[in-house]
Each structure stands twice: as C-alpha cells, then as structure tokens.
Amino acid sequence: MIEPLDVADRLVELVGDRAEAEAACSTGRSALTRFANSSIHQNVADDYVWARLRVSVGGRVASAGTDRPDAGGLERLVERTLAAAEMRAVDPEWPGLAPPAPAPVVTSYDEATQLAPPALRAQAVKEFVDAGPGLRGAGYVDSNGSHSAFANSAGQRLAGRSSSSTIEAIHRTERSDGRGWQSSSRLSDIDGGAAGRTAAEKARRGDDLVDIEPGRYEVVLEPFCLANMLEFLRDGYNGRTFEEDRSFVKLGEAQLDAAITLWDDATDSRAISRGFDAEGTPRRRVDLVREGVSLGLCHDRKSAAKAGVESTGHGFGGGSGGIATNLFMAPGTRSVEDLIGSVERGLLVTEFWYTRILDPKTQVVTGLTRNGTFLIEGGQVVGGVPNLRFTQSYVDALAPGNVLGVANDARLFDGTYHVPTVHLASWNFTGGAKG
C-alpha cells in the first residue's frame, strides 16, 4: 500500500540540494452511481494515486506530476521537473517555501464513506425515487475519500484525509422539473428520501405555469442560488485579484447588507477539507465580511508576500492568489415559510445555472433559472414560472437595505459553500430562457 507522506518525502530527497522542492501525493477512491428514468444505469469507482512536484532553481519555477509513483516514476518526475525549471524565466515574485508549521486537526473524514459499497449509494437512489411516485427521477449519488500528504525541503511535512458525498437529482413530470440536493462529508448523512420529496414537490408545483413579464421582482433565493453567487463573489476576496485591482472589494466599507456575514473556515466540522493547502500552509479561519463590512482576503504565498502579510492557507500552487474553498454565510433565525409569507409579489427560485460574469468589478452576472421557479402572491406560492434569464449585479443584490430576510436553513453545497435561503428586495429578470 502506498503511503502518501513516504512518496512526498522521497521526492524531496531525490531533488536534494539541486533546488527548493515541494512535493505532494494523494491516494483515494472516487465512486459514482447514476440513474435516469428512475433506474440505475451506471456504477463506477476509481482507485487513484498521483504525485506532484514543484521546484525552484534560483527562482526558475516548474511543476509536473505523475500517476505512477513507483521508484522509476518518481526518478523520472524529478529529472523532467528540474529540466523544465532550467528552461523557465526567473520569477521575481517567487515567495519561497512554506516553513514548518502544524496543520489543524480536521475531524470530518469518514472511512465508511471512502469505502462505501455500491449498495449504499443504490439505497439513497431508491429512497429518492420512491419519494416521487409517478415521476421520473434522474441524477447521481457519489462517495469519495482521499489521503493526502505534503513535504518540502524547508522541513514542512503534513498529512490529512477528507471525504465527501452528494446526491444531486431531479424529479420530472411531463412539463416540469424539480431539484433535490444534499452534500456532506459522510454518506450516512445523505437522506435520499428528503431530497426526493423536495424534488417531487417542486416538480408537481411547477406543472401549472404562470407567464410573467420581465422586470425587477422581489426574490426568495434558495441555498443553491446563494452558492452560485458566492462562487463569483469569492473571487473579489482573492488577494491577487484585489492587488491587481480586478476586485469589487473595498476593505473597511459596508458594501453588503448588515445581514451578510461571510467567512472561510476549513477547520469547521461541517467543512470538507484536509487542513492545509497545496503549498503546505496550514488552513485557518478568515473573516471576509462581518455584518456587511468587507474586512479580509484569502492569500496564497505569492499574494501574501506582495501584500506584506502571511498566507492564509488558500494556495493552489500556481500563484493564482488565495481561493476560498470552505465558505460559510451566517444563517438567520426565520423559516423559509416566513420569508415567503412576507412577499406580496415576487419569485421563489431554486437554482441558477449557465451563469457567466460580465464585469468582475461590479459583479454583473447573467444566467438562467431552472428546476423550480415559482410565483409568490400574497405570501403564497401560486404556481410555476417558465425559466427566466437574468442580468444582475450580485453585489447590488446584497447591498445595504436589499436583504429583507435570511432563513435558518443553511446547508452545504458542492463541498464548498454553506449557505441559507435569503429574501432580496430586487432581482433583474430580462426575459425568458430563449432570450
């Protein structure tokens, strides 16, 4: 059996004093069960191993990887990485290697999830399908786990484990789709029946479509929508993006509503993390927004050095700046039903998709709704709405005074975003899905 830390140590040893070196190795299993028309049609599993090496020869930096970390494979990896570095220009911003430091203990790993047999995923599929009798279910359930290690020639040595599981699926009528989604570090947390009931209710509710005119509407956005918003907004809290003036963030200013508090924390038990980044820097909590005020950034080693601060443990090894990977938004105290009940006329939106950013500085994004968009009148959901196109600044949507309520239903999405439902004062819908 391959021990990742032994592989990382061996790569550093093979480089020796010829260069600064950092090495990583990961082993794991990725398994997936797909279904369509309410029947499983695919079950796959992949046991993988890979190793990566990055070297700096007098500031000439190169990296390479291999999926054959045997003795010969490691020697070849070292020689071709060193050869590649000799052909590179000197990087004047090379920040050097991460110094020795302990990583936080992350408790979210679950061995049963990594080793889960197909029958456990199939059971979650059955529960989802059974929750929508007469409907057609389609989607997937996965279960993943890995053991990763890092070592460098400065003496840093770390190892950690992570696991994850997701059910993402729809129920479908002849005219409407409804989405159900759950994500966790443990397969045992996945409730296929609950996800199926949510999807079935949305699908059936969307059968009676109500046409509406384009324009600005109050919206209740479910967690999937908030996850999509944070996928774009987090780029503004990237140290490199901020330093290059490509960010909307203005530190110290109340850019967002006071109801918005955001932070990144890989040490939270609800997060999916191994406790250190690709550069060997321990991860830690970083407060990004507190009660609407932007106050923090995520850094890798290069962006931190340019800013005169320490890396926050958000590096990916390529100098792309600090990328938040365990984002939390503070939940509120109100129920989703209460948020809907406070809307005189507006829309309940399950999901955004096909979203594309038009301007990073203003966070104007265009995209579509799908898998459950509903008209609210007098505090009641009265029917489904055909999918709509929108063009909206995500920053403006969350600006002071625009967040009318935050629900208490925060959930994990895509292993990265832990977010609740929100009630916003205005969202700009520009037309139907076809234009």
pLDDT tens by residue, 294-339: 999 999 999 999 999 999 999 998 889 999 999 999 999 999 999 9
Task: Provide the 3-class DSSP secondary structure of residue 350.
Answer: strand
pLDDT band at 433; cut points 50, 70, 90: low
Q: Where are the beta strands (DSSP E) in 291-336?
A: 293-294, 327-329
Q: What integer pLDDT is reported at residue 207 of this predicted model?
A: 83
* Distant-in-sequence, close-in-space partners of 335: CB < 8 Å, separation ≥ 6: 407, 408, 409
Q: Which residues are 169's β-sheet partners?
A: 139, 180
* Inter-axis angle of helices 192-205 and 118-130, nearest 10: 30
Same domain? 321 vs 366: yes
- What is the tally of structural domains in the chain? 2
Same domain? 251 vs 380: yes
Q: What integer pLDDT is reported at residue 317 of this predicted model?
A: 86
Same domain? 37 vs 95: yes
Q: Pick the more confident residue, 154 or 174.
A: 154
> Is 60 exceeded by the pLDDT of residue 201?
yes
Q: What percent of the chain has a predicted confidence (pLDDT) above 70?
A: 99
Same domain? 279 vs 409: yes
CB 82 within 8 A of CB 19: yes
Same domain? 40 vs 126: yes
Same domain? 216 vs 333: yes
Structural domain span for residue 97: 4-200
Nearest residue to 278 via CA among 50, 85, 87: 50
Nearest residue to 137 via CA among 146, 128, 145: 128
> Is 90 exceeded by the pLDDT of residue 281?
yes
Mean pLDDT (whole number) for 282-298: 97
Q: What integer pLDDT is reported at residue 215 of this predicted model?
A: 96
Same domain? 267 vs 372: yes
Mean pLDDT (whole number) for 81-108: 95
> Is 70 exceeded by the pLDDT of residue 435?
no
Nearest residue to 298 via CA among 286, 307, 283, 290: 286
By mean pLDDT, which of 15-24, 355-364, 404-413, 425-434 is the weakest? 425-434
